Structure 1
């Protein structure tokens, strides 16, 4: 039986996923509502698959994926996201996740994705794969692609309205380091302030309104 850890800040979402997985004979051995909790609980449980939401309070899903893979390079992570942009799936897979699935997908896609990742096979849902392929064919370049991993993390949290102090705490950085990243982000994206950064993120589907 595949053993799964569910990481999502919405209890109702976790309940729905748990019931769906149970119907397929997949056991949910743990649940977490933050990336911080997932990173703390993972070493005790060593689930076969971590199903990780991207948009959560605190460090968020992308940073949690990085930290889980730093703890255990063999960790198998499937990311669930409400985002339909190209930057998030690319960043997630670069961080070491094995799978990426949009939340708008059919319920059976979750079963297929968990099964594939449990077997060490990469999985990207058809819709996301098509978006990535079309963007590559058209040469559409999301400006956020120019950001480093850390700059991207800072950018997303700033675009969501977090303060420098909050971001520093979430990402375990000093406020001055966050300030340096913020300067580089503004330079690369041609933004003058936090409001403009939020508009860039909204335009490219990196955050939800």
Structure 2
């Protein structure tokens, strides 16, 4: 059986992907609207491939990727994201993804990526490998860094990630210490510099 799991918090995106990938003759295509549901389904079913978005409320795609690979090291996962930052691509690769396609390149690269990965290969855009300070952050800190840089409040981040405001504040303190930055403006400037958000 060739089974696929599509993970995205937008139903319209999942529906579009399902239609797009119907030509590839999957026996079954399941859907998940969050990283948490994806993690749960991955343990209950045997998927030939999981295609997963990064930016989702609650457990992010990178968090889910990390958890799934820790539990199921051979699981094939393709990340599909609107982010085209080298840093995000390298993070996904480091966490065990077998491929990365940006949403703007779906029509050009999705079929190719899926076939490459199903045949045991990898599919990543070229990146400029260089050190950057965000490599010090773990997955959860990285997600919170992006949210703060985008202007989200601690209250909103806590609600999105389903954790307490105190936990978010603790993460924020840890991020500031690791990156040696002081305020939300510094978060924003660094995120723009690293092409994580648009100025």
- TM-score, with length taken from structure 2: 0.83
State the partner residue of 2:43.
43
Inter-CA distance 77–201: structure 2 relative to 1 (3 Å threshold): same
State the partner residue of 1:158.
148
Distance 1:100 1:159 in 2: 23
Inter-CA distance 61–32: structure 2 relative to 1 (3 Å threshold): same
CA-based RMSD: 2.8
**Would you say the 8 A contact 1:164–1:175 is kept in 2?**
no
Distance 1:7 1:195 in 2: 32
Shift of 1:149: 4.2
Distance 1:79 1:94 in 2: 12
Distance 2:192 2:2 in 1: 37
Distance 2:104 2:72 in 1: 29
Distance 1:70 1:98 in 2: 14
Gaps of at least 5 residues in structure 1 are none
Distance 1:171 1:48 in 2: 30
1:142-181 to 2 correspondences below 5 Å: 142-160=132-150, 161=152, 163=154, 166-167=157-158, 170=161, 175=166, 178-181=168-171
Inter-CA distance 98–148: structure 2 relative to 1 (3 Å threshold): same
**Would you say the 8 A contact 2:62–2:139 is kept in 1?**
no
Gaps of at least 5 residues in structure 2 are none
- TM-score, with length taken from structure 1: 0.80
Distance 1:121 1:46 in 2: 19
How many residue pairs match? The answer is 198
State the partner residue of 1:90.
90
**Would you say the 8 A contact 1:165–1:175 is kept in 2?**
no
Residue 105 of structure 1: SS of its match in structure 2? helix
Deviates more, 1:46-55 or 1:164-173: 164-173
Shift of 1:145: 2.8
Inter-CA distance 24–149: structure 2 relative to 1 (3 Å threshold): closer
